[in-house]
Structure 1
Amino acid sequence: MNRGDALYTAQPLVSVVIPAFNASIYIERTLRSAMRQTYTALEIIVVNDGSTDDTAKLVEQIAITDSRIRLLTTPNRGVAAARNTGIDASSGPFVAFLDADDLWHPTKIEKQVNALTRLSPRWAAVYALHYIIDENDDIIRPGTSDIARGYIYARHLNFKYIGNGSALLVRRDVALEIGGFDSSYAQADIGGCEDLDFELKLAARYYMEAIPERLVGYRKYPGNMSSNYARMGQGVLEVIKRSIAANPQLPSYAAESAIALTQRWAFRQYRKARNLRLSIAAAWAIIKNPRSFLDFLWHTSLRIIKRLRAAPKPGMVRGKQQLHQSKFDEKIILSPIRSPEGDARSPHLLMRLTATDIELSSIYENDERPDLPSSESRHKIA
C-alpha cells in the first residue's frame, strides 16, 4: 500500500515521525518495526537531523521497497525540532513518534488507534508500556508497569508514567495546539527530556489513554541520549519546574512532592555520572527538606533490600542468558499488565494526587484552564 492508497482506506492515516541523528546502526531495524505494523495506513516520515553517517543513504534504500517512507533532511537542531518538522510535514489525524534506535511490536499502532478512536476528542493521546532492550534487541528488563488513564496531570508530574519518546500516539491537531516539542532544552544543553515536557503539556489540558501491554522496545546503551545521566537529571528537573510554573492551579503539595521525587531521581543520575558538583547540590536540596530526606532514606533502604534479595545465591552464575528474557521482535508473546494503577511505593500520595486530578479535570470541563501556546507560537521555539 502506498501513501496515496492509505489516504482512501477506512482507516485514519497515522503519521509516524522518526527523528534520526547518526542512527545508521539501528535505523534499519527501527524502520522495519514500523513497516511491519499490522495497522497499514501509515506514512513514515524520517527526519534526518544533520547526520554525518550513512543514515540518509540507508533510509533511501529502504524507501525504495516501501513508498510509505519519506526522508526529510535538515541541519542538526536536536530531537525536538526534528519531531516538529515531522509533525509539520504529516498528513494524518494521528501522529506517533518513534526514536531511531527503538522498536515497536507489530500490533502497537493498531491497538492505540483502536483505543483512541473509541473515545471523544477530549482524549488526546494514548501510550503503551515498554521493555528495556540492549544493542542486540535483547530484553534486559521490563519497564514500569504502572499506568493511569483519564486526566492524569498531577499523577504524571509526580510518577512520570510514560517513560520514553516512542510510546505515544497523539491527535495531530492537539500536538500543534500545545506548541509541539520545545527545542530550548537542547539549546541549553539539557536535551533528552523533551518528550516528558510534551506529555505534561498534553496531560495538563487533555485526557490520556493507556494500553497495558509492553509494545515498545526502548533501547539503552552506552552513548545514546538516555545514557547521559547528568544531562538527563538536569533536564527532568527543568521540565518539572517549567510545568509547575505553567500550571498555577496545581496544589502546592503536588508541586512540592513532584520536585522532591524528581530531585531524588536526579541525584541518582548524577551519582551514575560521577558528577560530584551536581551530586552535592542535589543532596543538599534533599537534606534541606526534612520530609523529602526521610522519604529518600526510606526508599534508598527499600532499593538496597530489593537488590540484596535479587543477588545470586552462592554457587549460582548470573550471566547474560539469565538477564535477557528474549528478543524484542514480532515473535515475542505479549500479555496484559495487571497491576494497581500508579506507584505502589507511595499509595497515600497516589490517592491524594488522584483526588487532585479529579478536581483539576473539573476545571478542564469548565474551560477555566490557563491559555497555552497556539500552533503559530510553536514556530518561535522549534
Structure 2
Amino acid sequence: MPAYRAEQFLAVALESVASQTYGDWEVRVHEDGVYDDSAKIIADFSRMNPGKVYHSFSSKNTGVSRARNQLMDTATGDVIAFLDADDLWLPDHLERALSVMRRSGADWYISGMQEVDGGGLVRGSERLPPAVATSEMAGSLLEHNFIPTSLAVLGPRVVQQKFRFDPNLKVGEDLDLWIRILQAELEPALAEKVTILYRRHDSNTTNDPIRFAEEFAKVFEKHLNNSFLPAGACLRGIEIMLRPVIRMRRWRAPHLAVFALWRLWWARRAHTANCPP
C-alpha cells in the first residue's frame, strides 16, 4: 500500500485489511514522503495487529510506481494483492480471489468495484470486469482501463516473474503492467462479485484532465509499435489524449501546446515507419 498524504483515508483502508475473512495476510505500507500523520496511523494499526504490519518510508515523494515496486521487492508471500490508501477491500476480497484462482487455475484475479465518494457514499452502479476473451483484453484495456490497481490480485506464477511498475509513468502505470502481464500469456480470472470500494475524491489524479491526458499519452507512446496490441490502437489513443490538450494549451500555455503537437507528429511518423500501409 503506497501512502502519500494519505491520513484522511488510511485508517479505514487498513481496517478493511484487518476485516478480511482470510486471516493469513501481511500488509506493507510505504509512506512516500513524510507530510502528515500517516506514520502514527500505521503505528496504531501495527500495535493492534502485531507481526503483520511492515512500514517503510522515503523522506521525499518518489512516485507511486517506485513505492509499489519497493513494497513488491520486500513482500514475502506468494500472492500480492494491491490496495491504494484511499480504497477499501470488502471482507471477502482475499478469500474470494484465492478461491477463484485455485478453482479456475488462473494466474491473477480482477475484482469488481463500487465507486464511493470521499465520505463513503455510493456513486453509480456496481462495475464488474467485462466478459472479454483474454486474447482481446489488452485491446479493450486501451479503450478503457477497467482495472484500477486495487482490483488486481497477482497469483504465484505472476509474482515469480517479478513484474514491476514502470517508474517513468506517472499515470497509467497500472495499464502498462496489465498489458505486459497479458503479453506474457498469464491468464486472468474475472470476478462475478464486487469486493472493492473505489474512492473518487478531490485529490484523484483524474481530476486534472490536462495533466492526466498528457501523462496517459506516455503509456500509448511506450506501446506504439507493440505487435501484441491491435494495429493502430496506441496511435489512436495518443491522438485522443493529445488533441484536447493542444486545444486547451494553445491559449493557456502555447509552448506546451507546441510540445504536444511535436509528440503527436512524432507518434504518427514512428507508427508509419514501423507499420507501412
Give me the TM-score of the superposition, normalised by structure 1: 0.60
Contact 2:110 2:147 survives alignment (8 Å):
no
Residue 192 of structure 2 aligns to a residue in which SS? strand
Letter in 2 for 1:201: R
Check if 1:159 corresponds to 2:143: yes
Letter in 2 for 1:170: L
Shift of 1:193: 1.6
Check if 1:242 corresponds to 2:225: no
Letter in 2 for 1:197: D
Identical-residue share of aligned pairs (%):
23
Shift of the 261–169 alpha-carbon distance from structure 1 to 2, 3 Å rule, reads same
Q: Tell me the distance in 2 between the aligned counterparts of 1:86 and 1:216.
A: 21
Residue of structure 2 in register with 1:229 after alignment = 209
Shift of the 25–249 alpha-carbon distance from structure 1 to 2, 3 Å rule, reads closer
How many aligned positions are there? 258
Q: Deviations over 1:208-247 (max 9, x none)?
A: 11103222111121123332322221222211231343x3
Q: Tell me the distance in 1 between the aligned counterparts of 2:150 and 2:111.
A: 9
Q: Deviations over 1:180-222 (max 9, x none)?
A: 011112xxxxx13211111111111122111032221111211
Shift of the 279–155 alpha-carbon distance from structure 1 to 2, 3 Å rule, reads same
Equivalence map 1:239-278=2 (5 Å): 239-245=219-225, 247-250=226-229, 254-261=230-237, 263-264=239-240
Residue of structure 2 in register with 1:192 after alignment = 171
Which 5+ residue runs of structure 1 have no aligned equivalent? 1-17, 186-190, 290-382
Contact 2:28 2:53 survives alignment (8 Å):
yes
Check if 1:214 corresponds to 2:210: no
Q: Tell me the distance in 1 between the aligned counterparts of 2:108 and 2:70.
A: 19
Q: Tell me the distance in 2 between the aligned counterparts of 1:161 and 1:223.
A: 19
Q: 2:35 aligns with which of 52, 61, 71?
A: 52
Check if 1:116 corresponds to 2:95: no
Contact 1:116 1:209 survives alignment (8 Å):
yes
Q: Tell me the distance in 1 between the aligned counterparts of 2:7 and 2:46.
A: 15
Shift of the 71–154 alpha-carbon distance from structure 1 to 2, 3 Å rule, reads closer
Shift of the 279–217 alpha-carbon distance from structure 1 to 2, 3 Å rule, reads farther
Shift of the 249–133 alpha-carbon distance from structure 1 to 2, 3 Å rule, reads closer
Shift of the 33–262 alpha-carbon distance from structure 1 to 2, 3 Å rule, reads farther
Shift of 1:168: 0.2
Contact 1:157 1:240 survives alignment (8 Å):
no
Q: Tell me the distance in 2 between the aligned counterparts of 1:268 and 1:129.
A: 31
Residue of structure 2 in register with 1:13 after alignment = none
Check if 1:102 corresponds to 2:81: no
Q: Tell me the distance in 2 between the aligned counterparts of 1:218 and 1:275.
A: 33
Contact 2:127 2:194 survives alignment (8 Å):
no
Residue of structure 2 in register with 1:35 after alignment = 18
Contact 1:125 1:170 survives alignment (8 Å):
yes
Q: 1:201 aligns with which of 158, 169, 180?
A: 180
Letter in 2 for 1:158: L
Shift of 1:265: 5.8
Contact 2:217 2:241 survives alignment (8 Å):
no
Q: Tell me the distance in 1 between the aligned counterparts of 2:25 and 2:76.
A: 10
Q: Deviations over 1:107-148 (max 9, x none)?
A: 11111111112244xx33111121221110111123654343
Equivalence map 1:118-197=2 (5 Å): 118-120=103-105, 123-142=106-125, 144-145=127-128, 146-171=130-155, 174-175=158-159, 177=161, 179-185=163-169, 191-197=170-176
Check if 1:22 corresponds to 2:5: yes
Shift of 1:248: 2.6
| Cα root mean square deviation, aligned | 3.1
Shift of 1:266: 6.2
Q: Deviations over 1:38-66 (max 9, x none)?
A: 11111111111122110111110111001
Shift of the 266–208 alpha-carbon distance from structure 1 to 2, 3 Å rule, reads farther
Residue of structure 2 in register with 1:304 after alignment = none
Which 5+ residue runs of structure 2 have no aligned equivalent? 269-277
Residue 72 of structure 1 aligns to a residue in which SS? strand
Per mean C-alpha deviation after superposition, the further-off stretch among 228-237 and 193-202 is 228-237
